[in-house]
């Protein structure tokens, strides 16, 4: 026979479960905020705005993009980590959030535990771009110049710990060069300074860099994937240019605060799948070197865990630090 306090606890638990289920079934009842932890105009922001528009159509609610840049993506991630787990605050996660697990010593979150995975969105190679007057026309010439002038060549990045930072550090480690890192608060200002000559080169996503290559404001030296990109078939890979085994891919995905009700996660995942299945969305991303890639929440969670391990090895072998 149950005691009164046991019956009370059981009733409270059932009431909470009913309330949570009812709230999840009604979700979304108001606008949703998608936190992008980088400045407007960069590759992650571009992907976020395409996805936000599509999700708004699928869910029948406005999805607002909120740019919260700084600390290599950590400011935006911390904001979402502390948000209510009700499905109304999303994080646009990137490769950097896996990298940051080993690069930053005192993070306020664990990307594998503090968030509920939703789905991968895009993945693709970076492209090595240089200012037009840099006296190199190939990866081999870049390596030669960097060795001739150790520490003098500068590479911009979208921030400490970003894939745009670590991919260049991996290049340094494999090529035996020493280029100097110059972090920015996003890809857009970093590219602007490379075009203006304040920095020599950058490893950036094709989505943001290739339009400037097409206009002649930047020159493309290589891509960081194992195979050439269909978006730039004439640009060689670093691996085929002498850096055997080199590969670095950038990705974007969606995370929610941990303990978000499973029905909310599943409905959002379904909406993401519908958006990424749209031919115009896939075509838009493919033209810029990104593959639209849906995953189940479980698969995306496993993917993030694998990325944390992979980039921890890169951080250790390259000796990369935040500065």
pLDDT in tens, 75-125: 999 999 999 999 999 999 999 999 999 999 889 999 999 999 999 999 999
Half-sphere exposure of 253 toward its Cβ, with a 13 Å CA cutoff? 30
**Is residue 12 scored above 60 in pLDDT?**
no
Average pLDDT over residues 9-13: 56
Whether the per-residue pLDDT at 44 is higher than 80: the answer is yes
The 3-state secondary structure of 227-284 reads CCCCCCCCCCECCCCCCCCCCCEEEEEEEEECCCCHHHHHHHHHHHHHHHCCHHHHHH
CA atoms within 13 A on the CB side of 86: 14
Same-fold call for 4-123+250-318 versus 125-223: yes
Question: What CA dihedral angle connects 217, 160, 179 and 182, to 10 degrees?
Answer: 60
Give the H/E segment covering residue 127. Answer: strand 115-130
For residue 318, what pLDDT band results from cuts at 50, 70 and 90? confident
Which helix (H) or strand (E) element contains residue 193? helix 187-196
For residue 162, pLDDT beyond 90 = no
Architecture of domain 125-223: 3-Layer(aba) Sandwich (3.40)
- The answer to whether residues 292 and 117 touch, using CB atoms and an 8 Å cutoff, is no
- Quick one: pLDDT at residue 1? 54
Instruction: Please state the domain extents for the chain.
Output: 4-123+250-318, 125-223
Give pLDDT tens digits for 279-290: 999 998 988 788
CATH 3.30.360.10 describes domain 4-123+250-318? no
- Is the pLDDT at 239 greater than 90? The verdict is yes
In this predicted structure, what is the pLDDT of residue 321?
A: 77
pLDDT: is 142 or 208 the higher one? 142
Give the single-character DSSP code of 8: H
Q: What is the pLDDT of residue 258?
A: 98
């Amino acid at each position: 026979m149950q005691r009164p306090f046991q019956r009370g606890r059981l009733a409270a638990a059932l009431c909470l479960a009913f309330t949570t289920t009812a709230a999840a079934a009604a979700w979304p009842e108001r606008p949703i905020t998608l936190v992008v932890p980088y400045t407007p105009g960069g590759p992650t922001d571009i992907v976020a705005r395409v996805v936000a528009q599509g999700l708004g159509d699928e869910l029948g609610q406005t999805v607002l993009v909120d740019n919260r840049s700084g600390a290599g993506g950590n400011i935006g991630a911390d904001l979402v980590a502390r948000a209510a787990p009700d499905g109304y605050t999303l994080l646009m996660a990137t490769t950097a959030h896996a990298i940051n697990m080993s690069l930053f010593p005192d993070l306020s979150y664990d990307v594998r535990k503090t968030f509920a995975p939703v789905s991968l969105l895009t993945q693709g190679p970076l492209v090595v771009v240089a200012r037009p007057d840099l006296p190199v026309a190939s990866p081999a010439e870049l390596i030669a110049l960097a060795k001739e002038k150790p520490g003098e060549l500068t590479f911009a990045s979208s921030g400490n710990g970003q894939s745009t930072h670590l991919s260049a550090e991996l290049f340094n480690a494999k090529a035996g060069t020493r280029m100097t890192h110059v972090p920015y608060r996003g890809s857009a200002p970093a590219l602007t300074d490379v075009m203006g000559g304040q920095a020599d080169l950058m490893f950036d996503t094709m989505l943001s860099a290739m339009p400037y290559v097409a206009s002649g404001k930047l020159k493309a030296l290589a891509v960081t994937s194992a195979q050439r990109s269909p978006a730039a078939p004439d640009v060689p890979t670093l691996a085929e240019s002498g850096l055997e085994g080199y590969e670095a891919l950038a990705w974007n995905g969606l995370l929610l605060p941990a303990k978000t009700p499973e029905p909310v996660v599943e409905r959002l995942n379904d909406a993401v799948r519908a958006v990424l299945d749209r031919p115009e969305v896939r075509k838009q991303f493919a033209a810029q070197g990104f593959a639209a890639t849906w995953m189940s929440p479980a698969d995306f969670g496993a993917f993030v865990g694998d990325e944390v391990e992979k980039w921890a090895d890169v951080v250790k072998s390259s000796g990369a630090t935040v500065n």
